Amino acid sequence: MQHQIETATRLTEVRYEIRGELARRALELEQQGRQIVKLNIGNPGLFGFETPAHLREAIREHLPKSDAYCHQQGLAAAREAIAMREIARGAPNASPDGVFVGNGVSELIDLALRGLLNPGDEVLVPSPDYPLWTAAVILNGGRAVHYPCHPANGFVPDIADIEARITPRTRAIVVINPNNPTGAVYPRALLEQIAELAARHRLVVMADEIYDEILYDGAEFVPMATVATETVCLTFSGLSKVHRACGWRVGWLSLSGYLKRAQDYRHALDLLAALRLCSNVTAQWTIQPALFGPNTIDALTAPGGRLHATRRAVVEACARSRFLKLVEPSGALYAFPGVDTTLLPGFDDHRFALELLESEDVLLVPGSSFNVPYRTHFRLTLLPQAELVDDVFARIERALERASRAAHLQQAVA
């Protein structure tokens, strides 16, 4: 008998169901000829969205200049454009020297945590979170300490609860705003409280703002860097969502705030960036025209726009449902509905998502995949057309009706 290769034990703590077991089962069903509606990933290109034409033109124009490695932090023109936007937004001390361009934000999250954490160090991470954050903390030897963002509070955290979780090992706090998976957009007063807490406890603020311009019905986005002026702030953003360029893998982080404390850390980031040589050069030429060219997202999120219409369809479908309740998303590309457990006793999000896939050909992500202690929610993307959303929620309602009947029958037998 051959022994299996042992894998790293820390992987047992890592989850990423967005592309996990359910997605693999969906692929098997597709190979059998089933038509699966995949609402598990915020991938605009799969739903008919195109990257803006002026960004494609920038790649065509600069392709002959893209053969060589560039500086490990990124093209000078790209870093200057990012720094200029951060300064225009009010980020203190932002500069091209503090900007690092990466192959998507995901790479930079890993790089930023690797440069900061020693074994056993703690990072405050929201719950629910985008699960890469928790995974990256664990994989870099740290411990993710989750601060809850309760549905009853609009998925907005409580500052006293956050502070109660700080220990001498706490090194950083992660803020995901606009939030994935909930769509919450944090008010300025809360961000100011988080910034003050971080400064008082000497924490690094890591602000995931990849959805910064995807806002609905007057929601106001406040850049974390504009309030986190007395501590070190890392702002993460990129082209994948606002500019619908997921496959181009263009992300960046920008250092700002009290940078006298960050000199050694900046050198660590530079070393780690150099070890991977550089990020995709070709796509970096699109950063400057993306940040200072035509605005192409507002028409999609404003009333009459496609994203606004789909969001409205999700809100209305949840309102019609006998089983679902929803905190309306104010930003980003997702909704995070929960179920009424009085009508669905014993509801399990993963079991339901699998049954929905098998019986109704719809792929969702169980809410527990986002590092929450409850199993009563699921996430779906707002990228499909509104008409498809109506059909999907009809399928969801059928599955919930079956789950309710089965739950009550089981209760009666017991």
Nearest to 394 by CA among 366, 343, 356, 367: 356
pLDDT of residue 142: 97
pLDDT at 1 over 90: no
First-last CA distance in the chain: 45
pLDDT of residue 178: 98
For 343, 407, 408, the CA distances from 413, given in Å and listed in that order, are: 17, 10, 9
pLDDT of residue 54: 97
Q: pLDDT over 70 for what percent of the chain?
A: 99
- The pTM assigned to this predicted structure is 0.94
Question: In this structure, are residues 149 and 155 in contact, taking their beta carbons and an 8 Å threshold?
Answer: yes
Tokens of 338: 């929960």
- Name all domains of the chain by residue range, CATH numbers in brackets: 9-49+299-413 (3.90.1150.10), 53-292 (3.40.640.10)
Tokens of 233: 């702030």
pLDDT at 7 over 60: yes
- The amino acid that residue 351 corresponds to is R
pLDDT at 414 over 70: no
pLDDT of residue 308: 98
DSSP states of 113-144: HHTT--TT-EEEEEES--HHHHHHHHHTT-EE
Q: List, for residues 149-160, the tens digit of each pLDDT value.
A: 999 999 999 999
Calpha distance 357→30 (Å, rounded): 11
Please compute the mean of the pLDDT values over residues 209-222 and round it to a whole number.
98
Tokens of 404: 């309710």
For 118, 169, 259, 270, 407, the CA distances from 263, given in Å and listed in that order, are: 18, 21, 7, 11, 58
- The amino acid that residue 175 corresponds to is V
Q: List, for residues 126-152, the tens digit of each pLDDT value.
A: 999 999 999 999 999 999 999 999 999
Residues 68-72: contacts with CB within 8 Å, 24+ apart?
Answer: 68/281, 69/277, 69/278, 69/281, 70/278, 70/281, 70/284, 71/278, 72/270, 72/273, 72/274, 72/276, 72/277, 72/278
Q: Mean pLDDT in the chain?
A: 95
pLDDT at 183 over 60: yes
For 56, 68, 198, 262, 383, the CA distances from 258, given in Å and listed in that order, are: 37, 35, 12, 8, 38
Phi-psi region of 52 (alpha: psi -120 to 50; beta: other; left: phi over 0): beta
Please compute the mean of the pLDDT values over residues 247-257 and round it to a whole number.
97
Of the ranges 146-160, 309-323, 395-409, which one carries the lowest mean pLDDT score? 395-409
Q: List, for residues 341-397, the tens digit of each pLDDT value.
A: 999 998 999 999 999 999 999 999 999 999 999 999 999 999 999 999 999 999 999
Nearest to 287 by CA among 31, 108, 37, 58: 58
pLDDT at 21 over 70: yes
pLDDT at 412 over 90: no
